[in-house]
Amino acid sequence: MAEIIFIGLSLSSILLLVALGLAITYGAMGVINMAHGELVMAGAYVTVLSGIWLHLNIIAAIPLAFLVTALIGYLIERLVVRRLYGRLLDTLLATWGVAILIQQAVRLEFGLSFFGRHIAGLGVGLQNVTVPEALTGAITIGGVQVNAFRAFIIGVTVVLTFATWLLMYRSSFGVQVRAIMRNPNMAAACGINVQRVNALTFAYGSGLAGVAGVMMSGFKTVFPDMGTPMVVDGFLVVAAGGVGSLLGTILSAGLLGQINGIVASVTNDILARAMVFAVVILIIVLKPRGLFSYRGR
């Protein structure tokens, strides 16, 4: 039983890792960033490339991936999202296009493959990330044998969640973000540089995706399409949790992860996945604003 709970916890942490960035870009800014999965993928490729070219291990790749994907996110905000703040559903379509572009950029090695140049670590194939010995195999915590890398992911997720909470609820930057979230015009009138804060918020959310990518790379396989299913899971988590509520996202990730884990162990994985979809639909139907919502009324 303890193992099942641990697996559920691990599933939750993976969901949360991906959803955390979305909770920022979608939850706080309302941008439906379909390229979020591709940012996760980009983070994973940063890990692959930094392993091959810089001989960095997976832990050292975390800050690097954060910076790279934050930069990509910043560019997406400046070039695409910024023009769409009036029509947020359109961000879904535009960023879907961006997602295709990022995928193709990796697959075509930024176009170099046309010139017969190959960069090790890019291209259509599956990539391999070496995980440090300490993070492979199982460790025993309180008599329960658990997967070391999963435990590591849970740790990283906790740290990131706490950092995000600090940033959003305990920093002046967070105050500005939340002010914009409620009323951008009023925030601007209060002297907040809305454009700059938006760009930085988006970059931060994207950076979180990058860190998620690093974690995924040591766990799953790395390839250009890896992000698409993740973005779907991420949106389901954020929507079920309640838009704009960090706590809601955390709880909904926890709930969905445990449901998945328990149903999978009692019956099978297919049913578990179907159950997760069904629960999300049910939550939204019963509580259209999600489990938690910042709008009181």
Partner 1 sequence: MNTTRRSILKASALSAAGTLASPYFFHRTAQAADVIKVGVLFSQTGGLSIIEKSLADATLMAISEINATGGVLGKQIQPIVEDGASDPKTFNEKASKLVIQDKVPTVFACYTSASRKAVLPVFERRANLLFYPTYYEGFECSKNVVYTGAVPNQQLSNFIPWIIKTLGKKKFFIVGSNYIYPREMAKVCKVLIEQNGGQWVADEYLELGDSEWGSMVNKIKSSGCDVVLSNVVGDSVVAFYREFKNQGLSHAKLPICATVTSEIEIAAMGPEYAVGSFTSFPYFMAIDTDANKQFVERYRAFVKNPKAVTHHALESSYFQVFLWKQAVAKAGEAMPIPIRNAVMGQEFNAPNGHVKIEPANLHTWLTPRIAEWQADGQGKIIDTYPAPIMPLPYVAYGETEKNLFCTGKGLDTAKLKG
Partner 2 sequence: MDAKRRLDYATYAVFIALIMCAPLVLEEFWLNRIAKFLVYGMLGVAASLCWGYAGILNLGQGLFFGLGAYMMAMSLKLASPTSLQQGSDKPVPDFMLWNAEPGAPTDLCCINRGSFLWLPFQHQWFGVMMGLLVPVVVAAGLGWVMFRKRIAGVFVSIITLALVLLVRLVLIDAQPLTNGFNGLTDLGYLTIGGFEFDPYSAATYYLVASALSLSLILARMLVETRAGLILQAIRDDQNRVRYLGFDVPVYQIFFFAVSAAIGGIAGILYVVVADFASPTFLDLTFSITMVIWAAVGGRGSLLGACIGAILINTIEARVSETEGFLQAWRAIIGLIFVLVVLFLPRGLAGLANDAGEWLTGRLGGGRRRATAPRVASSE
Residue 277 binding result from partner 1, partner 2, none, given CB thresholds of 5 to 8 Å by partner type? partner 2
Give the span between the Cα atoms of 23 and 149, in whole angstroms. 24
Q: What angle do CA 77, 83, 89 make, to 5 degrees?
A: 90
> Taking CB under 8 A as the rule, does residue 171 contact partner 1?
no
The 37-76 contact track toward partner 1, x by CB under 8 A, reads ----------------------------------------
Please choose, out of 132-140, 197-205, 249-257, 284-292, the segment that lies near partner 2 by the rule CB under 8 A: 284-292
User: Given the complex with partner 1, which of 193 and 221 has the nearer CB atom?
Assistant: 221
Q: Phi first, then psi: what are they for 139, rounded to 5°?
A: -120, 160
Among 2, 3, 54, 101, which residue sits at the site for partner 2 (rule: CB under 8 A)? 101
Give the span between the Cα atoms of 81 and 75, in whole angstroms. 9
Query: What is the greatest pairwise CA distance in the chain?
Result: 60
Residue 183 structure tokens: 């009323």
The 188-227 contact track toward partner 2, x by CB under 8 A, reads ----------------------------------------
Quote the radius of gyration of the chain (alpha carbons, Å): 19
> What's the min distance (Å) between Cβ of 292 and partner 2?
15
Q: Tell me whether residue 188 is exposed, middle or buried, using C-beta atoms within 10 angstroms of its C-beta: 0 to 12, 13 to 18, 19 or more.
A: middle
In terms of Cα–Cα distance, which of 212, 217, 253, 248 is closest to 9?
253
> What's the min distance (Å) between Cβ of 245 and partner 2?
15
- H helical segments located in the chain: 2-22, 36-53, 61-79, 88-107, 148-169, 172-182, 184-189, 194-217, 228-241, 246-266, 269-286
Residue 226 binding result from partner 1, partner 2, none, given CB thresholds of 5 to 8 Å by partner type? partner 1
Contact 229, 37 (CB under 8 A): yes
User: Given the complex with partner 2, which of 159 and 271 has the nearer CB atom?
Assistant: 271
Residues that bind partner 1 (CB under 8 A): 3-4, 7, 10-11, 14, 104, 107, 116, 118, 120, 124-131, 136-138, 145, 147-150, 219-223, 225-226, 229, 260-261, 264-265, 268-270, 272-273
Residues that bind partner 2 (CB under 8 A): 32, 34, 80, 83-84, 87-90, 92-94, 96-101, 103-105, 107-108, 111, 113-114, 228, 232, 235-236, 239, 270, 273-274, 277-278, 280-281, 284-286, 288
